[in-house]
A and B are shown apart, each in its own frame.
Chain A
Amino acid sequence: DSGVTQTPKHLITATGQRVTLRCSPRSGDLSVYWYQQSLDQGLQFLIQYYNGEERAKGNILERFSAQQFPDLHSELNLSSLELGDSALYFCASSQTGNGPLEQYFGPGTRLTVT
């Protein structure tokens, strides 16, 4: 158990809809990262937040947005969903947002868009 929690575990929704994925980092970790893993693909970095502020941005679509709240939990919002958005979405956390640090991953949310 990494200490990172993600909800929900599974999500099935239709094209055009909007969903919110939630992540709670490990106790004491200030930085949260979001990743997308499509079928047989590596982990695609989406976005990083550190202590409530956006720190780095990866290949995140404009239809996707995220935020980190004062209690440090984070939400990833996916809108106007397309079939190709079906994937595993992982959240990870680390102690700080500076420099290369090991990240601790949650169990992921499996999103299926039908």
Chain B
Amino acid sequence: DQQVKQNSPSLSVQEGRISILNCDYTNSMFDYFLWYKKYPAEGPTFLISISSIKDKNEDGRFTVFLNKSAKHLSLHIVPSQPGDSAVYFCAASGDNDMRFGAGTRLTVKP
């Protein structure tokens, strides 16, 4: 059962433009959401998170938006840089459970 879905396996954007990565979840018990970035041959690294009591959290170039009614979250990267090219996983946690999406491979072209 895929409780967390990232429907776009890949995304390509031009350097300097906005990257928008999307994530949907089904379990209403999830109350904390995280984004991780993964480079090849490395483990995922934490990027940004948001609690269900908020609808937006910003950290530099990275902003996560949460729409609880739609069970949808998104990660915005502005401006995108070539070094942002990686696989991005969204994760949802709650009730002693954590689920990850399948990941979206972002490519930022110079």
Q: Which residues on A are within 8 Å of B, measured CB to CB?
A: 2, 4, 33, 35, 40-45, 55-56, 58, 90, 92, 99-100, 102-108
Contact = CB atoms under 8 A, between A and B. Distances in A.
Interface residues on B, range: 20 to 34
Contacts of B32: 99-100
23 contacts: A2-B45, A33-B98, A42-B6, A42-B101, A42-B102, A43-B44, A43-B100, A45-B98, A45-B100, A56-B96, A56-B97, A90-B44, A92-B43, A99-B32, A100-B31, A100-B49, A100-B51, A102-B46, A103-B46, A104-B46, A105-B45, A107-B42, A107-B43
B89 A43 contact: yes
A46 B102 CA distance: 15
Contacts of A41: 102
Given A43-B100, A100-B34, 16 more contacts: A33-B98, A42-B6, A42-B100, A42-B103, A45-B99, A45-B100, A55-B96, A56-B97, A92-B43, A100-B32, A100-B94, A102-B49, A107-B41, A107-B43, A108-B42, A108-B43
Contacts of B42: 107-108
Interface of B: 4, 6, 9, 31-32, 34, 36, 41-46, 49, 51, 89, 91, 93-94, 96-103
B23 to A, nearest CB: 11
Contacts of A42: 4, 6, 89, 100-103
A100 B93 contact: yes
